[in-house]
Amino acid sequence: MPSLDLGVLISGRGSNLQAILDAIAAGRLDARVRLVISNRPGVEGLARAERAGIPTRVLPHQEFTDRDGFDAAAVAALREAGATWVVLAGFMRLLTTTFLDAFPHRVVNIHPSLLPSFPGVDAQQQALDHGVRITGCTVHLVDAGTDTGPILAQAAVPVLEGDDRDALAARILVQEHALLVRALSWLAEGRLQIAPSAAPGGRARATIAGVDTALGFAQGGRAPEPVGEGA
């Protein structure tokens, strides 16, 4: 059975990185984190990696003249460290084909909405602004668009009365941690299948063989009331 040699890219807090490290330490995820790269120095995620004895690299994006330069440096560092899969765990930059072509169908992102709704920054506030009743999180493969790549798994999270951005983000984050670890464990089990689009220029589809990849209101939700007739 394959296990995953992961490179993890972060830009900040690193709680999703921590979920990965905890799952590996607990034997729930067959993977090794070979390298953590941050485009920002001094962030909490780097300290989390260091506490776990994981090698780290800081690649300040301002020091590169263009995105390709940053991406080429990241690819070189990941290859040198032995990473063959990459997780974007709160990494706040778009990647170019320089990066994506180096890890085809092997770059995974966690996003705090049910894509394709609310791609890009502050998906939780976008969900509140639109008044949706259900949002959640998505683990997907990364392509050259913003949060547009093939979806691997999703978890639903209800928007509750009185939610503000931080309350909603905190409840989604609990699901992110669980979903990301589960999705990675399916990848480690070799369950990923990619089906190219039948239509020219259409989307590839990713499926995870043999498991239910839609998680419901696992935490923080309410059971729906039955709808009475004529009410």
* Per annotation, catalytic residue among 61, 105, 111, 130: 111
Phi, psi of 186 (to 5 degrees): -65, -40
176 binds ligand GRF (CB under 6 A): yes
Nearer to ligand GRF, 13 or 203 (CB): 13
Query: What is the Cα–Cα distance from 219 to 157, expressed in whole angstroms?
Result: 8
Query: What Rg do the C-alpha atoms of the chain give, in angstroms?
Result: 18
Residues 27-46 that bind ligand GRF (CB under 6 A): 45
Give the integer Cα–Cα distance in Å for 144 and 152. Answer: 17
Active site residue 177: no
CB closer to ligand GRF out of 148 and 189 = 148
The site string for ligand GRF over 74-113 (x = CB under 6 A, - otherwise) reads ---------------xx-------------------xxx-
Max Cα distance, the chain (Å): 66
Judged by CB under 6 A, which stretch of 14-22, 59-67, 94-102, 159-167 contacts ligand GRF? 14-22
Residue type, 129: D
Please report where in the chains the tokens 């009331």 appear, as a residue: 225
Binding mask 113-152 for ligand GRF (x = CB under 6 A): ----------------------------------------
State which residue has the least CB distance to ligand GRF: 90
CA separation for the pair 181, 175 (Å, rounded): 10
Half-sphere exposure of residue 159: CA atoms within 13 angstroms, side-chain side: 21
Total binding residues toward ligand GRF, as defined by CB under 6 A: 14
Distances (CA, A) of 112 to 3, 90, 146, 206: 26, 10, 13, 19
- The least CB distance from residue 226 to ligand GRF, in Å, is 33
* Residues with active-site annotation: 111
Using CB under 6 A as the criterion, which residues of the chain lie in contact with ligand GRF when the complex forms? 10, 12-16, 45, 89-90, 110-112, 173, 176
